[in-house]
Amino acid sequence: MVKSLFGFFEILAGILLAISGKFIVDNLILAVAQQEIIEDPHDFVLITLIKISNSFYTTGHIFAVFYLIFHGVVNIFLAIALLKNKIWAYPWAMVGFGLL
């Protein structure tokens, strides 16, 4: 039951990431690094974090969206199958939950 709830939130996060694009990633980094920006705007960690966020949007954005949605769908599907006591779902759940 909890795994299917996590799956729902993963699908929701994937959809939000696909719709919002760079806006959420930039705001997340600003929220995390806001104190560091105030103290030292030329900090190495901060500059590296901004570079990573810019490269994430160009290279990892599509992968992250598909991974979140796919992982959420698999979690929900396997959790429902396990709740219905489908025998075939047990080995698939062990593999699926173990790999993902």
Q: What one-character-per-residue DSSP string does 27-74 give?
A: HHHHHHHHHHHHH-TT-HHHHHHHHHHHHIIIIIHHHHHHHHHHHHHH
The percentage of residues in the chain with a pLDDT greater than 70, rounded to a whole number, is 94
Task: Tell me the pTM.
Answer: 0.66
pLDDT, position 58: 67
- Alpha carbons 55 and 77: distance in angstroms, whole number: 33
Q: Is the pLDDT assigned to residue 100 strictly greater than 70?
A: no
Of 46-50, 54-58, 63-67, highest mean pLDDT: 63-67
Q: Is the pLDDT assigned to residue 75 strictly greater than 80?
A: yes
